[in-house]
Structure 1
């Protein structure tokens, strides 16, 4: 199937669907740093567009996609943000408007797990149902989808002419019964038993074991503070050889392969990695769609 990736970022969704055998024909984003990374890793074009302003409907229609997928910027929904609905939330509605105008057979929407608290996603669902799409919604735990990370993400998957909930059974039945750990995925490649991941606040732990799924990879990667005080839930003491992860290691935990290039300034690359959909999670969803199509 021919796929267009909107709000593509550095390409996590594109890579996952490509690895599942889908034909990614084009991508769109508005952040130069992410576009630079994307261009370094894919042969199909990525277009710089502000999807809140630029009219791309004719361009997309001419491409005749079978699937339009995307994850609009999520800061207004994120537990790390202010939980206020602003311009970024409006991009969710814009995504729906684009899909309805182009009318691909399939639509895949991805976002933070708590987006369902907000009215915007309810509006998106109704827009798609009114346009003839049956929809399935599910929060997926990435660690049960081939990703060594406790990352929960919301997916809305729609297909023209289907009934609501059509993909529920497929999405659930393929989940692993066991969460994937960092060691499961990387073996001993990190050369450490414990590592530091900077927490959102010091009420949370920061030292993790490779024998558990990683915490959610975020868009910042800070060194261990000189005055760090051990959290009661830390898996080890900082003095026990604990170190922060490198940029490339954070990419591994997001399931980007070693062959995936990350050109650009370190802060931009870290943010792009943290914002990305793990390719293995995207591949899981893509394979569920393939399975449904062949049943």
Structure 2
């Protein structure tokens, strides 16, 4: 099955689908830093393309004869990190849907933050998918129940031509783990620390976590412990002078990228790529569901 990845970022979705045995033949992205990182880790081509120009994009994508299109249109406009306004970037959700409707792959996967499901932008994209003849399975997955040691909730829309809505719901839900995966479950004793600091959005939230729980969502910002950190009653341990702060490499591993993955770019860009990425194991879990549906 030939797969193309739109809004590919550094390649979390691509890698998960490749690990499941799908043939990813091309990727498309606008952000130069992410393109350079993607190129360092994959053998197929990635193109710098503004996918909001859907007509031009379709001509390029068509050349790769995709059976499946995957992708996560930029989600900042829906995320907690943004101002919760649907601005210009939310229109890229429509662009994604229009590309699907023009190319008509057998199936597609669209990924976004959990809150995107209730957005006007998704409602518009959904109408385009339905008009094009796709049955849709829509679900919010918690990565910690899908092979990833991180409490990260993401919305997936899996569409397939000629199917009923909800066609793959059982495949998604029945295979989930019964308990959330912790860092210790995933890494064993290899990390070398028991507690770590993760900078909160504000001091109403905890910042110290234990490896005996799933990590919180990896965000695009990673800061050292500030001098004035007041502590939080729900912190897993008191702050100490040698409190561990996750490195770029550790954050990539928590996103289930392999140790061999090369993080190319400056620190700010790489942190942003990691924060934006679909965890590889979550992508693989979705790819397994796609495979089950295709075999069915």
- TM-score (normalised: structure 1): 0.98
- Which deviates more, 139-148 or 241-250? 241-250
Partner of 1:8: helix, strand, or coil?
coil
1:137, 1:157 within 8 Å by CA — same for their partners in 2? yes
Measure how far apart 1:62 and its partner are. 2.1
Report whether the alignment pairs 1:152 with 2:153: yes
Give 2:109's aligned residue: 108
- Equivalents in 1 of 2:180, 2:71: separation in Å? 26
Tell me, yes or no, if the aligned pair for 1:6 and 1:69 is still in contact at 8 Å: yes
Q: Residue deviations 1:34-66, cap 9 Å, x none? A: 011100000000000111136111221221101
Tell me the equivalent position of 1:45. Answer: 45
Aligned pair 1:226/2:227, yes or no?
Answer: yes
Cα RMSD (Å): 1.0
Q: Which runs of 5 or more structure 1 residues have no equivalent in the other structure?
A: none
The alignment partner of 2:165 has SS state of: coil
- Counterpart in the other structure of 1:6: 6
Partner residue, 1:177: 178
When normalised by structure 2's length, the TM-score is: 0.98
Q: Which runs of 4+ in 1 moved over 6 A?
A: none
Cα offset for 1:294?
2.4
My pick for the range that moved more, 110-119 or 88-97, is 110-119
**Which residue does 1:188 correspond to in 2?**
189
Q: Determine the C-alpha separation between the residues in 2 that align with 1:249 and 1:188.
A: 14
How many residues were matched structurally? 295
Equivalent in the alignment of 1:292: 293
- In structure 2, list runs of 5 or more residues that go unmatched: none
CA contact (8 A) 2:67 2:107 kept: yes
- CA displacement 1:94-118 (0-9 Å, x = unmatched): 0000011111001100000011221
Shift of 1:121: 0.8
Which whole-Å CA distance do the structure 1 matches of 2:231 and 2:86 have between them? 36
Asked whether the 8 Å contact 1:147–1:180 carries over to 2, the reply is yes
Mapped partners of 2:134, 2:156: distance in 1: 15
